[in-house]
Structures are given as C-alpha cells and as structure tokens.
Structure 1
Amino acid sequence: MPETSPALAKRYAALDGMRGLAALAVALYHWGLATTPIVPAGYLAVDFFFVLSGFVIALTYSERLAGTLSAREFMIMRVIRFYPIYLVGHVLGFLRSMAMLVAGNPNVRGGTELALATVFGTFMLPVPLDARNLFPLNVPSWTLFLELLINVAFALGMFQLSNRALAGIMAVSAVVLIGFTGPPHFMDVGYSAATLPLGIARVCYSFPFGIILFRMLGTQPRRSSWLSFIPLGVLVTVLAWTPGEAQRGAWELACVFGLFPALVAAGIRLELPAALARPFEFLGAISFAVYAIHGPLIIFVNKLTEKLSLDGWAAVAVYLFILMAAAQAVASLFDAPVRAMIGKWRRQRRVVAG
C-alpha cells in the first residue's frame, strides 16, 4: 500500500517521510496487538495512505492515461510494482503458519483453510470462505487488494472524472462510513469479509480526495521550510493517541475526512530542508516493504525477544531494527532487481514483436 513513485521520491521528501512514519505506525500497532499497545490508532494510517496514493497515482499517470498509456498497460505496471514485495510477505505468512502448525498452536489454520489461503493469496485474491480475515496469511494485504481495485477504477475512467463527480463518490462513501462505523472497531474495518464494504468506502473516500489535491496543488510552487516538520509531528501524534470511547468515533471520522487530506496537502506545499531530507527519503523508500512484511515477522521477533529476555521498549527496538533491516534488504536486494529483470524482459518482447 505505501509505495514510492519515482516522481514522488525526487520531489516530495516530506510526503516520503510521512509515508515511512505511517508504515512504522501500522507495524507498531500490530506489534501492540500481540504484546502491549503502543500506537493505538495505527490502523488510521490506512486512510492516510489512500489519500497519498490518490495524489501519487494522479501525479504520475493522469497525463499518460489521457495520452497513449492504455488501462491494460497501466495495470500491468501496477501489478509489477506491487507483486514482488507482496509475494515476500505472503511467503513469510505461509512460513509463519507452518511454524505454528509444527509447534501445535491451536489458533493457526491448517488443512483446507491453509491451502485456500495459500493459493488465493498467491494471486492477490481474498479467501472467499474465511469470515475472519480476507488474507489470513498476511492480514494487512487487504489494503493492497483494495489499492489495486481503485487503481483499476482510476485507469478505466476515474482519472477523467470532474472534481464534482469525485466529490460525489466521496460524499456517498462518507455517508456509509458515518452510518456504519462505530464501536467496538470504529474505523478499524475492511480486513474481514463482513467489513469489506466499509473498507471499500474508506478507499473510495480518500483516494479521490488525493486526486483532487493533485489537481489543486500539484503544480503550485513549493518551498523548503522547517514548517514541513509540523505535519510529520501531527501525523505521528494522531496515530499514537486515541480519545475516550465516547469521542473516538467522531475523532476518527474527522481524521479521515479532513485531517489526513490536510496533512498530505501540507506535504505537497512544504518540503523538508535538503540537509535533513535523506533519512525521511529512506523511510519512504522502505515503507512499502515495511508494510508488506511486518505482520509475519512479529511472531518470529517476539520469540527472539523472549529468548533474549527482552520486553517493553527494548523488545520494540529489536523489532524495529530487524523490520527496517529486512525491509531494506527486500526492497534493494529482491524487489528492485526483480522489477528490473521484468522490465528488461518486457522491452525485449516489444523489440521482438515490433
């Protein structure tokens, strides 16, 4: 879900930083589910990602789709972008399940359920018979599935819709979210078959908002400023804090409907000082891998920290170090070479065919 576009990496270090921090927030949220809660609202990062994705896709592909780029070619490019890192997460999820089966864990899926999850997941498809999770081997993959679906919609005509039409899609989605999200999960929905319609509403609100932000701000002048650290700090604060139960629903809707788009808008207009941009560009570069592989890694790192008698923040530090190192390795040693190889093969096919 969080990914680095070449155009974005070169031009928007502040957005890269926010994307990287949001990916780590999701990873810490899921770590907290298995241990002690750390980033209680980390799941809201998904809505931030969808806004950012709408901006990135519109920035990178709107003119090309209006020109010679076909919807089919666009989707091939998107699958190539997603699949290698997605596959790593899927395989890690399978290995985790096998390890849990061998250990006799009663909560792990086996037999037909594991086979279905493996086969369907290999093709980036949700498991139709599983009511708990659409992607049992790597739960966060549901967002990547919805990202691909909204990319299909973008290529088939969403990129040509007027801002008014996009606002109409957003309005319908907002009504659905207001009407059907609430306790106990609030906006932490979309990962199961029962809540998939709400996940669709999440992406159908935030992604079009990102497109509108591109149209409004994508060509506006930008300036390097220390003020660019404010949206980064606000994003981290929002994901690390949650209000009381009575206010939680309204607060989360406010974040989705207004605050996250405002943070993306700030990242579009304000750039990090060049001398300080590199660490945030690094976070952006590994963010997709962090998001895709963190789930399956949790159980392995948890076992490691138990053996080392580490807990609390020491265990969190080990988790983050291993996760970021693994994400960097996956991104640079697997994803980049595989996509380069696929690109070379496709170019050679065109030469032979042409």
Structure 2
Amino acid sequence: MASSRRYLDVLTGLRFLAAAHIGAYHVYHMVFTGTEAPPGLHGLLDSGYVSVGFFFVLSGFILGYHHLERPPDTREARQAFWVARFARLYPLYALGLALAAPAFFKGLHAAWVEAPGELWRLDGALVLAPLLMQSWVPWTALAWNGAGWSLAVEAVFYAVFPFLAVRLGQTGPRALAVGAVVAYALALVLPVLYLLVDPDHGPASSYHSGPWMRALRFNPLARLPEFILGLLAGRYFLLRADAAPRARPVVLTVLGALILAVLLGSASLPFPLLHNGLLAPVFAALFVLLPRSQGLVAGVIASRPFCFLGEASYSLYILHMPLLFTWKSVMKRLDVPSTSVGAVAVLTVGVVVLCVAAHQWVEKPARRWIRARWAERAARRAEAGIQPLA
C-alpha cells in the first residue's frame, strides 16, 4: 500500500465501544454489587472481559497494518519502535498507578494488620507493577490498578513484535490461513486443558478464580496467540487492500449478531474459553471487513464523535477503575446511594470527561516529549558516530 494509507477511523470508533463495555462491566460488579440484571442484559454486562481480548487482537491488527510492509528489522528501527510504544503506553499507565495508589496501599496496610501471612500476595506488585511485569505472577496481576494487567501483556506483545514482523511481512495467503488456524488452536488449547483437568476444583468466573485460572487469564504467553491472530489479519488486509471488494452488509450483520449473541449468552458458555480467545477469529474478521464497509453502522462508528472518543479509549480503559474507586469513596462520605440514577450518570459523564482531559493534556504531550527526547538523543549519537545498543 502507499505510504499515505488512510487511518482506519471505524476501528478507532470501535475502540471506544470496547472500552465502554469494559467500564460497564466494572460498574456492574463494583457498584451494583448483589444486584443481577435480567438474563440477557446480565450476560452483556458480565462479559466485559471479552473486550480485553478484543483489544489484544486489535493491537496485532493495527501494528500489522502500520508496520508489516516496513518491519523494524534493524537495531535502530527496533529501538525507535519500542520507544514509540513506551511513549504511547507508559505515561497514562503511571498516572493510573498514582491514582490507584491510595486504594493499593490501604489494602497493603489491611493485609499487614489482619492477615500478614497473605501480604506476600500483594507486596510483589510494589516492584512488578511499575515494571509492567505483574501479569507474570497470578496473585499480583490485579493488585495495583487491576486494569493494568493487560498493559503488562501488551508490553510483551510490543517486545516480540519486531521479530515476528520480519517473518510475517512476506507471508502469503496460504501460510496466513494455516497460521490463523494454528494461532486459534494455541489460544484455546490451555482453556480446554483447564476445563478437562479442573486444577482449581471449582467453577471459575471473572471475580472467582483459583490460582491456575488466574495464571491462564493473565499470563502473557497464554494471550500471545490472540495478538498473533491479529497480526495475521493485518497482513491479510494489506494483501487484499487493492483488490478486495467492499464488505457485504449481510456478512457484517452476521458477525455483529454472532458477537452480540455470545455476549448475551455468556453465562451459558465456558468461562475459560470465552475469556481466552473464543471470539478472536470473529474479531479478526470484523477488523478485515468493517473498514471496507460503506454501510450506515460503519459510517456512524467512523464519525468524528466516535473517533474522538476512540482516541481517548486507552485513557478511559486505564483510568476508569481508580476513578471508580474514588467516586465510591466520595459517595460513601456524602451518604449518597451509589446505585441511584443521578449518581451513576455523574460517574459516567465525569469519568469520560476526565479521561478525555487526561488524553489531551497528559497522554499526547507526554508522548510527544518522550519521542522528541529520543530523536534528539539518537541524532546526537549519530553525529558522534556511536552505534546504538543491541
């Protein structure tokens, strides 16, 4: 494709919908505790974790779309790629840790006083979370700003991407099809083994997981196949960019209806499979087809309001939980029922406004500053004739 490839606005709009799904899931569980919605709505709200997998596949697709034609195959290119990813990821991630620090240290203090024998399950996060490594240890993954576990997984994706890109950049259609089947099988093999062996000896859910289930949910290697499936989809999209016809509305309708049906009926599906990639190929197909659609739904999702919110979706994702905890604390101090319509409306509007502000005034300036400092440093090293580190 030409270097002036258009930005995939419709996928940017989808990012907001996925982030909103995750936010609604946490509000449902953390605000409306003990209250269960009607079955279909319950399934939709209770399956917000599926949208994290959506982001894993989308991450692979977007990186493939932007980088597979010219993969970062030199030391300089790899370093520039990693710096760009760090600049994109870490400033808001650090802000999320800061906002979540009061709740985290309150939990540490409570563990020290009430259950010192369990303190080891939390204090590891003091070191691992700032280093984006908490997902490698099941009991630290959710300890400090729970949403951050997926960023630790994304960090692994970014680390391996330059090496995967060199191999995938020349892949043909047949190899892509085989690779997609293998990646999907690898995504599901561990959940299937979990269901067969039942190592935790009990039902698993998003808020009730044993140590083996937590390892399956959060370990970066267990989620890597979803990312690879997205990369393969991105490569296929590039191959078909000039020849592919517009997506037929009926195909997109079927894909959307399938996703919605699975979410509505999530309570009846095996949690390990649904959590770890069951819908990954459906998401990949959606990413390939939706940008080529000229239908009304695609037009709405690609509209400027959706794109604007989609650009801020990372901020919404990483900051909504500490903001939610802060809001609950304020409601408790004011003795206001947190489940009232007015309170939830204030929460929703307030979180969106604050996250958009963080995107505009923290994320974007920090990203520009980090990349500019790196460019200056690289220029000085080049002038001095110093080779970059491997």
TM class by smaller structure: 0.7 to 0.9
- Relative to the length of structure 1, the TM-score reads 0.80
Q: Which runs of 5+ in 1 are unaligned?
A: 1-6
Shift of 1:134: 1.6
Q: Residue 96 of structure 1 is aligned with which of 95, 103, 110?
A: 103
Shift of 1:141: 1.3
Q: Which moves more between the two structures, 23-32 or 344-353?
A: 344-353
Residue 351 (structure 1) aligned with residue 379 (structure 2): yes
Residue 13 (structure 1) aligned with residue 27 (structure 2): no
For residue 144 of structure 2, give the secondary structure of its aligned residue in structure 1.
Answer: coil
- Matching residue's letter, 1:12: L
Per the alignment, residue 281 of structure 1 pairs with 307
Structure-1 separation of matches of 2:210 and 2:165? 24
Structure-2 separation of matches of 1:108 and 1:322? 36
With over 3 angstroms needed to count, the CA separation of the structure-2 counterparts of 1:253 and 1:242, relative to structure 1, is farther
- Matching residue's letter, 1:185: A
Across the two proteins, how many residue pairs are aligned to each other?
A: 346
Structure-2 separation of matches of 1:168 and 1:47? 17
- Relative to the length of structure 2, the TM-score reads 0.73
Per the alignment, residue 286 of structure 2 pairs with 263
Per the alignment, residue 320 of structure 2 pairs with 294
Q: Residue 207 of structure 1 is aligned with which of 198, 207, 227?
A: 227
Per the alignment, residue 4 of structure 1 pairs with none
Residue 117 (structure 1) aligned with residue 143 (structure 2): no
- Matching residue's letter, 1:294: H
Q: Which moves more between the two structures, 195-204 or 133-142?
A: 195-204
Spell out, residue by residue over 1:278-327, the C-alpha distance to the aligned partner (whole angstroms, 9 max, x if none). 11101211110111111212221123345344524433322221211111
Structure-2 separation of matches of 1:62 and 1:190? 37
Spell out, residue by residue over 1:16-54, the C-alpha distance to the aligned partner (whole angstroms, 9 max, x if none). 121111111111111222122661100000111111111
For residue 146 of structure 2, give the secondary structure of its aligned residue in structure 1.
Answer: coil
Shift of 1:277: 0.4
With over 3 angstroms needed to count, the CA separation of the structure-2 counterparts of 1:345 and 1:230, relative to structure 1, is same
For residue 157 of structure 1, give the secondary structure of its aligned residue in structure 2.
Answer: helix
Per the alignment, residue 182 of structure 2 pairs with 168
Q: Residue 49 of structure 1 is aligned with which of 49, 55, 62?
A: 55
Per the alignment, residue 327 of structure 1 pairs with 355
Shift of 1:93: 1.4
Q: Which has the larger Rg?
A: 2
Structure-2 separation of matches of 1:284 and 1:82? 15
Spell out, residue by residue over 1:180-207, the C-alpha distance to the aligned partner (whole angstroms, 9 max, x if none). 2587336889996753345446523321
Shift of 1:117: 2.2
Q: Residue 139 of structure 2 is aligned with which of 122, 132, 135?
A: 132
Shift of 1:343: 1.8
Shift of 1:86: 0.7
Q: Percent identity?
A: 22
Does the aligned pair in 2 maintain the 1:140–1:295 contact within 8 Å? yes
Residue 317 (structure 1) aligned with residue 345 (structure 2): yes
Does the aligned pair in 2 maintain the 1:48–1:260 contact within 8 Å? yes
With over 3 angstroms needed to count, the CA separation of the structure-2 counterparts of 1:49 and 1:137, relative to structure 1, is same
The alignment yields a C-alpha RMSD, in angstroms, of 4.0
- Matching residue's letter, 1:79: F
Does the aligned pair in 1 maintain the 2:58–2:230 contact within 8 Å? yes
Does the aligned pair in 2 maintain the 1:176–1:201 contact within 8 Å? no
- Matching residue's letter, 1:77: A
Per the alignment, residue 195 of structure 1 pairs with 214
With over 3 angstroms needed to count, the CA separation of the structure-2 counterparts of 1:81 and 1:11, relative to structure 1, is same
Q: Which runs of 5+ in 2 are unaligned?
A: 37-41, 384-390
